[in-house]
């Protein structure tokens, strides 16, 4: 598998936009993690027919497994990083590899070479996911990334900027980008794993568009 690595000669005065895309672990691994299904939790109401009860229980168990698998990509315990994109002005670098540890190492190398890293919802999702997957693979995380409860000063989360201290204010990358008139997402992150495995170029183009939206948003907010 080809990996586009961070350029060691990257201009350190240029801020870096980054974003990650995740996918579920292999099905064989996930099946061993699915919590036991408890038929007693299924409400059968007034159904008396044993065959219909059995059918309802079977469908509930199927949904139980399917829901777990569909959520797997969002949890570092059940998901993995598929791709990490960085953007500095018009320089797009996608980092991807079958070897997740190698990919994570490439990202932390990019961290070391960047003066400022910006993303959307990175404090709640991207960074915790990257760090926890790094711990799993024994990939060293630069200690300055997080000190106690605080993220490094050179990290900027645009969702944090958007909320301005009000955690009740929500808004996705797509909705805020449309609000600002700077563009829109070209797909849904929950479909990324399937797209990545079936049309790699389209998946990387989707990631690039997300990065470009984030760059434009940072520019509009006066962050860069």
Q: Please give the tally of structural domains in the chain.
A: 2
Q: Using a CB cutoff of 8 Å and minimum separation of 24, what contacts does 162-170 make?
A: 162/221
Q: Specify the pLDDT at position 185.
A: 97
Q: Are 128 and 179 members of one domain?
A: yes
Q: Tell me if 1 is assigned to some domain.
A: no
Q: Tell me if 108 is assigned to some domain.
A: yes
Q: Tell me if 207 is assigned to some domain.
A: yes
Q: Are 45 and 92 members of one domain?
A: no
Q: Round to whole Å and give the CA distance between 121 and 157.
A: 6
3-state secondary structure (DSSP) of residue 136 = helix
Q: Are 121 and 187 members of one domain?
A: yes
> For position 99, which CATH number holds?
3.30.420.10
pLDDT in tens, 192-213: 999 999 999 999 999 999 999 9
**Res 97 pLDDT > 80:** yes
- The predicted model scores a pTM of 0.87
Q: Specify the pLDDT at position 12.
A: 53
Domain holding 56, by residue range, is: 29-73
Q: Are 63 and 161 members of one domain?
A: no
pLDDT in tens, 142-197: 999 999 999 999 999 999 999 999 988 889 999 999 999 999 999 999 999 999 99
Work out the pLDDT band at 30, boundaries 50, 70, 90.
very high
**Res 13 pLDDT > 80:** no
Burial of 9 (0-12, 13-18, 19+ CB in 10 A): exposed
3-state secondary structure (DSSP) of residue 119 = strand
Chain-wide mean pLDDT for the chain?
91
Mean pLDDT of 12-35: 90
Q: Specify the pLDDT at position 51.
A: 83
**Res 56 pLDDT > 90:** no
Nearest to 84 by CA among 108, 49, 61, 56: 108
């Amino acid at each position: 598998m080809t990996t586009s690595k961070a350029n060691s000669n990257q201009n350190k005065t240029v801020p870096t936009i980054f974003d990650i895309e995740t996918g579920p672990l292999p099905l064989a691994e996930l099946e061993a993690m699915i919590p036991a299904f408890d038929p007693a939790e299924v409400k059968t109401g007034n159904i008396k027919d044993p065959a219909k009860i059995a059918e309802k229980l079977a469908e509930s168990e199927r949904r139980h497994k399917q829901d777990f698998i569909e959520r797997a990509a969002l949890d570092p315990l059940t998901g993995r990083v598929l791709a990490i994109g960085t953007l500095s002005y018009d320089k797009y670098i996608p980092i991807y590899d079958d070897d997740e540890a190698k990919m994570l190492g490439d990202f932390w190398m990019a961290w070391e070479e960047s003066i400022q890293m910006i993303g959307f919802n990175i404090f709640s999702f991207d960074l915790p996911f990257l760090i926890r997957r790094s711990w799993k693979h024994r990939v060293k995380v630069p200690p300055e990334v997080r000190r106690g409860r605080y993220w490094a000063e050179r990290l900027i989360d645009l969702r944090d900027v958007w909320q301005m201290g009000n955690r009740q204010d929500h808004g996705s990358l797509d909705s805020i980008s449309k609000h600002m008139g700077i563009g829109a997402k070209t797909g849904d992150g929950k479909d990324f794993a399937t797209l990545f495995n079936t049309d790699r170029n389209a998946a990387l183009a989707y990631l690039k568009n997300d990065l470009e939206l984030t760059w434009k948003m940072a520019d509009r907010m006066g962050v860069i």
